[in-house]
Each structure stands twice: as C-alpha cells, then as structure tokens.
Structure 1
Amino acid sequence: MPVTDVTTDPEALTLTLTADFAAPLERLWEAFTDPRQLERFWGPPGWPATFTSFDFEPGGRATYYMTSPRGEKSGGSWEFLSIDAPRGFEVLDAFADESGTPIPDMPVSRMVFSFESTDAGSRLRNVTHFTTADALEQVVAMGMIEGATMAMSQLDRVLEGLREYAAGKGTQTEILDDTHVRITRLIEGPIDLVWRAHYEPELLKKWMLGPDGWSLVECEVAPAVGGTYRYVWEPGEGVEGERFGFDGETLVVDAPRRAVTTEHMTGTDFPSTLNDLNLYEEDGATLITLLIEYPDKETRDIVLATGMTDGMEASYARLEGVLAAV
C-alpha cells in the first residue's frame, strides 16, 4: 500500500495524505496531470472517475464524475490556482452537479498537491484545507480517508505500466476490506476482443470453464442494462461435482471498458454479489479487473476458500488461447 500516513488536524482544519512510489518524480507528475491517467486511479475501487474537461493552467478548470457499481454518479470540479511543474499544483476542490457546476451547499476545500524525489522514487503529499471544522468532519464522515487511500493503492499499476505490473503474475486476488475483493489478470489481447469474449456465447463456452473437466453448457448473456443472464456448468465424465449455475442482472454497461452485474447461485437462497468488471488496454495487452462486493465477511471467506482464484486462472489461461485463435 503506497499510502504511508493520513492525518487530520482539527485545529489547522487540514487533512494530509502522504504516499510513496517507486517511480521518478516526473512520472508521478505526469500521472496527476494527464486526465486519461487520472481516470485510472482518482476514483476509489468501484467508483472510477471520468474527466470531462481538464484545462491545466492557472485559472483553468477540470470537471469529472465518478460512477458507482449501481450507476449513481458523484461529480467534482477543480479550479487550478497555481502550477509549479513538476513540484506541485493547487486547486479549489468542489462537489459538482452533472454539468460540472459546484454545488452551493457542499464543502469547498483548497487542495495542495506536492511532489518530491526520494531515494526510492517519489513522494506525494496532498494537503486539503477546509474552511470550517464542520466541513472537515463532513467529508471524513463521507469516507474521504478510506476512499483516498484505496484510490492511491491503484496508482502503482499506472506508474509501472501494465506489463511490468502484472505480466507473468497470473490471477491475483486482493482483499480490500470485509466485503470487497479485487481480482486482476493481464490478458494478451486487445480490449475489444476481451470484451467480445465476455459477451459472445460461442467464445464464452471455450474459456469460462473453471477447473479442467467442466463445461459451460448453458450461456445466456445480458449485454444491456436491465438484461438478465444465466450460466450453467456441469462436470464431464469421471469428474467429481454437481451441475450448478449463476444468474443475475446487468446494472451498468460502458462497452468495452466496464460492466457491472449482480451474481446469484441459481436455485439457492444465497445472497447475491455485485461484480464490477473493468478492462484497460495498454500496448496490446488488456488488464481485467474484477471488483466483487460480498454481502458480508463470512460469505467472502467461504467463496475464497473454494479455490476461486485457481479456477479463474485456469479460465483466463484458456482465454488467451481463444483470443490468439480469433
């Protein structure tokens, strides 16, 4: 976790976040001043950011919104007050409506981004100045500390590049908190093909099989919001296990980058999970990121104990072979 410290000072009305990265100062500066790179980490997991404008000069403005797994949007805006490349910049940060206009009754804060070189790479120091103690307490209560910490945890893979960050590591499972797990896998292949492989039944039946010996025998996809899907697997001859399936509803679609669905084990009263699939392509390889929200810690641990990661790795390895043949 790159974040090394988060401190609130009620007397100074500040919240300070410090994070260290194994990347040069200029590379860290680039990540914070390029909106396409900012989009990959500024929103916390499950709330990716989309920057709709970015006029990076004193007096200029940036506007963005973050979209939740259930489709809710939360907007924000920055007014750039000063820029001292590559050492830092300062903005007025405000909550914004759908048009990017600051919301009058919500807190406005002054954020100072400072960057410095270290022996190991570079350091970010982000100091947010509030106008009142109530404003500080309000954003802390809204989860700003947790959200910012989780957002910064996504920056390493942006700074390193996908191949260096993920190639050769296989399927990685990270426990983010009691109810959230993040799964990542780098796939050799362009984003459009990876998306197709998730939504074309004839391709799905070739790779989404889990352990050896299982087959995906029923495959009804739901590529549009409000649609319902259904998958059924069964074991081959001599393979232990019973036929099972999953069903759910599509909540968010932003092809070919993101799809959010519910997932429920068919024929059971088990609670559903929320599955947030994100794809990002770099140099012909696509990083699959799947954020799973469980109803509780117990359910999370039961599912992880089934060997889910190994089953997904077997499927993703097949996926690369399928894409190579398309």
Structure 2
Amino acid sequence: MPVTDVQTDAEALTMTLTAEFDAPVERLWRAFTDPRQLERFWGPPGWPATFPEFDFTVGGHARYFMTSPRGEKSWGSWEFLEIDAPRGFTVLDAFANEEGAPLEGMPVMRVVFAFEPTATGSRMVNTSYFASADALEQVVAFGAVEGSTMAINQLDRVLQSLREYAEGKGTQTEILDDTHVRITRLVEGPRELVWRAHQEPELLEQWMLGPDGWRMSVCEVDPAVGGRYRYEWEPVGDTPGEAFGFDGETLLSEAPRRAVTTEHMTGTDYPSTLNDLSLEEEDGVTLLTILIEYPDKQTRDMVLATGMTEGMEASYRRLEGVLERVG
C-alpha cells in the first residue's frame, strides 16, 4: 500500500500523511492536478469524488463532492494559494456547501501537497495545518486518518494503466476492514457494454451463472433507483446443490459509471449486504470494481468461505465472451 505513515501532532496542530509510489514525480503531479484523474482516487472507497469546478491557478478554486452508496453528497472546496510544478501546491481546504462556500462552524485547513523524487519513484508528504486543537480533533473524529489513508491507497491504480494494474490477474478479492471487501476484475470490452451487461436481463442470463453446471432460472431487473431485482439459480442435470436466489433494491444509478444495490438471500432472514459497482474504461478495457459492505465480520467471513471469488471469475470469463458477441 502506498501510505507508509499518518501522524497527528497536537502541539504543531498538524496531520501529516506520507506515501511512496513507483512512479516519477511528474506522473504523480499529473494525477493530483487533472480533475478527471483526481476523481478516480480522491475520496475513500464508497465515497468517490466528482470535481465540477477546477481552476488550477493561484487564487483559483476547485469544488468537489463525494457521493455515498446511498446518494448523500459531502461537498468540499479548495482555494489554490501556491503552485510550484511539479514539486507541490498549497490549498485552503474547507467543508463547503454546493456553491463552494465554507460551512459555518467547520474547520478550514491549509494543506500542503509536497512531491519529491526517490530512488524507486516518488514520495508525497501531505501536511494539513489547523487553526486550533479543537479543529484538529474534530477532523480526526470525522475519520480523516482512515479516510485519507484509504483514498491515497487507491492511487496506484491511477498511476498505472488499467492493463498494467489488473491484466491477467483475474478476479481479485481484497479485505479492507471488518465489514468491507473490494472485488476487482479487468474486463475486455468498453464500459457502455459492461454496464448494459449488468442491467439487461437478456445479457445477464448469459453470463451471471457462477460455476459450470448452473443456470439462471429467474432474472427480473428494474435498474431505476428504487427499482427491485430478483435472481434465482438452479443446478442442471446431475450437478449437486439446491436452487437459491437473491433479491434487492437499486439505491444509486449513475450510468455507465456506478450502481449501488442491496443484496439479500431470498427466503432467509440473513441481513442484506450493500454492493457498490463502479466501472472505469481505458484503452478498450474496463476495470470493474465492487465494494461490498457486510453487516459484520462474521457475515463477511461466511460469504468469502463459500468460494465467491471463484464463482465470480467463472462468470466474468463468460461476460467477456458475451461482450465479444454483442460488440
């Protein structure tokens, strides 16, 4: 993981994050000064950022919002105070309203982004300066240490091309914490088609089958926000196992970039999970990421023990075949 250290200093009124990257300073600079690249990592998993305004000049402003899996938006703003390409820049960072005005009673921080070369690539030292100990404590209580660490740890996938990052690795499962798991899979095909394959029943029925020997017997999908879906599978021939299914509701839909749904095992009293699907396209391939939120660690471990990753990989191999035929 890129983040090597996060320190808070109550006397100096600072929070300092240090991260190391296998990329030159110039590449790191571009990732932080191009809003489209910033959107790919600024914001922890489950809260991706959007920058509708980005005036990268001294005295200019940037506005951004992070969107939760349930659609809530948290706004922030930057005022650019200093720019020293490619060594770093300084901003005033504020919790803001939709127009970019700082929220009354919320901390405003001076944040220095400093980039320096290393023997293997580059280092970022990100230092936030606070006006008071109360302001520092308030931001830390909001989860700034954990959130900023998880956000910056996503930067590797931006500094590399998607093919360099994920090609040939198959379906990867990463445990983020007790209740969150991230699934990634590089899919050969454009994002628009990958999105359609997750929304249209006639396509879903061709690939979302899990291991060989199973068929999808029910596929009902209303992909609109508030709409519901129901999937059921049954074994074919002599394949062992009993029919089962899942149902849920669409909480967020931002075609063709992101969809968030609940998932409940039909006919059981098991708690639902939250499945946050996001799609990124580059050079004809799409990186598919699913952030799964479980109700607790026990449920997380129980689901992972079912061979979920292997079943998903079998389905994604079929998906690529479907995309080739449709495309």
TM range (shorter): over 0.9
What is the aligned residue count? 326
Within 5 A, what are the aligned runs for 1:173-212? 173-212=173-212
Farther off after superposition, 97-106 or 312-321: 97-106
Amino acid at match of 2:166: A
RMSD: 0.5
Superimposed CA distance per residue, residues 280-316 of structure 1 (whole angstroms, 9 cap, x where no aligned partner): 1001100000000000000000000000000000000
Return 5+ residue gaps in structure 1 as ranges.
none
Instruction: Give the superposition deviation at 1:260.
Output: 0.3
Within 5 A, what are the aligned runs for 1:135-284? 135-284=135-284
* 2:102 matched residue in structure 1: 102
* 1:291 matched residue in structure 2: 291
Amino acid at match of 2:192: D
SS at match of 1:295: coil
TM-score by length of structure 1 reads 0.99
Query: Aligned partners of 1:85, 1:220: CA distance in 2, in Å?
Result: 52
TM-score by length of structure 2 reads 0.99
* 2:39 matched residue in structure 1: 39
Instruction: Give the superposition deviation at 1:227.
Output: 0.5
Instruction: Give the superposition deviation at 1:100.
Output: 2.0
Amino acid at match of 1:204: L
Q: Does 1:23 align with 2:23?
A: yes
Instruction: Give the superposition deviation at 1:46.
Output: 0.1
Percent of residue pairs bearing the same amino acid type: 76
* Runs of 4+ residues over 6 Å off in structure 1: none
Return 5+ residue gaps in structure 2 as ranges.
none
Superimposed CA distance per residue, residues 106-126 of structure 1 (whole angstroms, 9 cap, x where no aligned partner): 100000000001011000000
Query: Aligned partners of 1:219, 1:101: CA distance in 2, in Å?
Result: 46
SS at match of 1:298: helix
Amino acid at match of 1:180: H
Query: Aligned partners of 1:110, 1:224: CA distance in 2, in Å?
Result: 41
Superimposed CA distance per residue, residues 146-202 of structure 1 (whole angstroms, 9 cap, x where no aligned partner): 000000111001001100000000000000000000000000000000000001111
Amino acid at match of 1:65: F
SS at match of 1:238: coil
Query: Aligned partners of 1:101, 1:235: CA distance in 2, in Å?
Result: 57
Instruction: Give the superposition deviation at 1:101.
Output: 1.8
Superimposed CA distance per residue, residues 247-292 of structure 1 (whole angstroms, 9 cap, x where no aligned partner): 0010000000000000000000000000000001001100000000
Query: Aligned partners of 1:92, 1:109: CA distance in 2, in Å?
Result: 6
Q: Does 1:48 align with 2:57?
A: no
* 2:129 matched residue in structure 1: 129
Amino acid at match of 1:241: G
Q: Does 1:57 align with 2:47?
A: no
Query: Aligned partners of 2:112, 2:213: CA distance in 1, in Å?
Result: 56
Instruction: Give the superposition deviation at 1:50.
Output: 0.3
Query: Aligned partners of 1:234, 1:117: CA distance in 2, in Å?
Result: 56
Query: Aligned partners of 1:21, 1:156: CA distance in 2, in Å?
Result: 7
SS at match of 1:150: helix
